[in-house]
Amino acid sequence: MNTITDMQDYFINFNWANLLVSTGLILLKLLLIFCLYFIIKKICLLFISKLFDSYMKKHSISTGRASTLESLTKNILSYILIFILAVTVLQTFGIDATAILAGAGIVGLAVGFGAQGLVSDIVTGFFLLLEKQLDVGDSITTSTFSGTVEQVGLRTTQLRSPDGTLHFIPNREIKILSNHSRGDMQALVDVIISNDNDIPACLEILQDVCDTIRKESDVITDGPNVIGIQSFAGTSLTIRIIAKTLNNEQWGVERILRQRVQETLEEKGVKLPSPASLALENGNK
Residue range(s) defining the domain that contains residue 213? 185-283
Amino acid letter, residue 168: F
Instruction: Report if residue 244 sits inside a domain.
Output: yes
The whole-model pTM stands at 0.52
* One pLDDT digit (tens) per residue for the chain, 285 residues: 456 665 555 556 655 566 666 777 778 888 888 888 888 888 988 888 888 777 777 766 666 666 667 766 777 788 788 888 887 887 777 776 666 666 666 656 555 555 566 677 777 777 777 777 887 778 888 888 888 888 777 778 888 988 888 998 888 888 888 888 777 888 888 888 888 888 888 888 888 888 888 888 888 888 788 888 888 877 788 889 898 988 778 888 889 988 998 888 888 888 877 665 555 555 555
Specify the number of domains making up the chain.
3
Instruction: Report if residue 88 sits inside a domain.
Output: yes
SS (H, E, C) 73-132: HHHHHHHHHHHHHHHHHHHHCCCCHHHHHHHHHHHHHHHHHHCHHHHHHHHHHHHHHHCC
Instruction: Report if residue 19 sits inside a domain.
Output: no
What CATH number is given to the structural domain containing 244?
Answer: 3.30.70.100
Query: CA distances (Å), 285 to each of 46, 207, 272, 280, 282, in order?
Result: 67, 29, 20, 9, 5
